[in-house]
Amino acid sequence: MQGGQNRIREIVVPDSSKPHLETLYRQLYRIRRVEEEVARVYPTDCIKSPVHLSIGQEAASVGVCEALQPDDRVFGTYRGHALYMAKRGDLKKMVAELYGKDTGCTRGKGGSMHLIEPSAGLMGTSAVVGTTIPHAVGFAQALRMQKSRAVVAVFFGDGAMEEGVFHESLSFAVLKKLPVLFVCENNFYAIHAPLSHRQTPIGMCERVAVHGVPAVCVDDGDVERIYQEARLAITRMRESGEGPWFLECHAYRWREHVGPNEDFHAGYRTRDEMQPWLDSDPVVRIGARLDDAVRKRIGAEVEAEVAEAFAFAEASPFPYPDELYTDVYKEA
């Protein structure tokens, strides 16, 4: 794998704490199939917003969200389909949102990059790099003031760690001992710029550790390891009030930065670079550990759900024109 960084510490989580393999596989496979269907439909122009696909990066969202409780909150990025689904957002509403329909999770106003489902604990995604990081920290502060036991997880890419707001937010979370799990989905590229051209060789976990924040890297995309690390961090934050944790998850983006296609012809990366990630695909690895009958049953159930969600989006109406004037800020 690319970009190996030292783990700050090792943990052992009892087997009894591990999520069921069927649950992990269903979540991974479900996200993969929805994203593949988005890629298939996108050229027809039925989907009305740009799409940033999570194909190849599903493990981070699934591993972390399986460690969260329903009342815990998450904030994400414009590459947020996987997070929305992993946090149990309504799939029909998500697909309808991509179609710009009135039945979407933001009534067709947010599109792919601005998903939100508060009832599921997804407090928003954003098209601007790093912007949900301070939102997550502020939300955690509010939870602390309300004496809530809920925690917050915020997802961002490696490029966001070059934004000043990341470091400012991390520092504030440390000072206030806020229950925030900072999750960096490191896919080694900020659009087309490789990590090696943007950051010094000092690892991300080492950068974060100087703030006194526990930091660990899962460098192989193993969804079970991600779950274990997230579960430990979330449990400690919830029970001890120690403050924030940092989890770096290595991943690899299989498709282009934005859009449904491959982009190896652009020359900034090679197919050979991606091959180890294809060979260790967590969807295949977890699925191979299930009985054939179980895997086929899950596959059939997911296919039916995906077909129903896209049919729902196709049949849903577009918003009425007067919706342009609702849910907007206006002086009294």
Q: Which of 160, 56, 75 is nearest to 117 (CA)?
A: 75
Confidence of residue 240 (pLDDT cuts 50, 70, 90): confident
Domains, the chain, in order of start with CATH, read 15-319 (3.40.50.970)
Runs of H (alpha helix) within the chain: 21-41, 58-67, 81-86, 91-98, 132-145, 164-176, 204-209, 223-240, 271-279, 282-287, 292-315
Confidence of residue 14 (pLDDT cuts 50, 70, 90): very low
Summarize the confidence of residues 12-18 as an average pLDDT: 50
Q: What is the pLDDT of residues 39-93, one digit of tens each?
A: 999 999 999 999 999 999 999 999 999 999 999 999 999 999 999 999 999 999 9
HSE-CB of 141 using CA atoms within 13 angstroms: 13
Helix and strand tally (H, E) in the chain? 11, 8
pLDDT > 90 fraction of the chain, expressed in percent and rounded: 88
Residue 3 has pLDDT above 60, yes or no: no
Summarize the confidence of residues 294-316 as an average pLDDT: 98
Confidence of residue 5 (pLDDT cuts 50, 70, 90): very low
pLDDT at 18: 66
State the chain's mean pLDDT as an integer: 93
Q: At what angle do helices 58-67 and 223-240 cross, to 10 degrees?
A: 40
